[in-house]
Amino acid sequence: MSADPRPSRLDDPIQAERDIIARLDDEGIDLDYEALSIVSNIYRAASAIRRHMEQEVLAPEKLSWTAFVTLWVLWIWGEMEARHLAGEANVTKGTLTGVLDTLERRDLVQRRRHEEDRRLVSVAITPEGEELIARIYPAFNAQESQIAALMTGRQRRSATEGLRRVVRGLNGPDPS
């Protein structure tokens, strides 16, 4: 069975929104379509960006998105307990374990048991991991620049402010 050569209707966000509204209007359910559009477009944009970055920057380095995020978090904030790293990378501890196994085999991270509490594991980036992330991050950022260039300066500032509000609103008050 061959893949459908036509582009997906989901590739056109405006048409997708029209299709969704038409379908849901038929159900007679009272919905907030503006909220639906905002959230679904955030999701579609995040998915498209992730897929783009994986193809353009990470695949040649044989890194998954989660492996990249894990290395990046350790590169920026340094060694941390695995449970905190899982939170920062936005993955479960189980998912992180598999990612760390792969990164450790490649000598990109190192796990250590805490001396006082052997149940706790901290994770640190190795010099090889630092070299890799420092080498590929400029290419990653170049792709970020190309993506950001799809919007005007005003749109970028507005999107940044709006998305920060969403993150803060969902994550609760700033602990500082």
User: Contact 61/132 with Cβ under 8 angstroms?
Assistant: yes
Q: Can you give the pLDDT at residue 82?
A: 95
Other C-beta atoms lying within 10 Å of the C-beta of residue 48:
13
Contact present, 123 and 85 (Cβ < 8 Å)? yes
DSSP secondary structure string, 116-129?
S-TT-EEEEE-HHH
CB 70 within 8 A of CB 85: yes
Residue 14: its pLDDT value, please?
83
The residues pairing with 111 across neighbouring beta strands, listed in sequence order, are: 123
pTM of the full structure? 0.83
Render the burial of 99-136: b for 16+ CB within 10 Å, e for the rest: bbebbeeeebbbeeeeeeeeeebbbebbeebeebbeeb
CA distances from 172 to 5, 85, 107, 169, 176 (A): 44, 19, 36, 5, 12
Secondary structure class of 90 (helix, strand, coil): coil
Which pLDDT score is estimated for 13?
Answer: 79
pLDDT for the residue 8:
57
User: What pLDDT does 1 receive?
Assistant: 46
Mean pLDDT by 10 residues, the chain (176 residues): 52 80 80 89 93 96 97 97 94 95 98 84 97 97 97 96 94 64
> What is residue 8's three-state secondary structure?
coil
**DSSP annotation of 2:** P
Closest residue by Cα to residue 123 from 138, 109, 136:
109
Return the percent helix, strand and coil in the chain, to nearest 5.
70, 5, 25
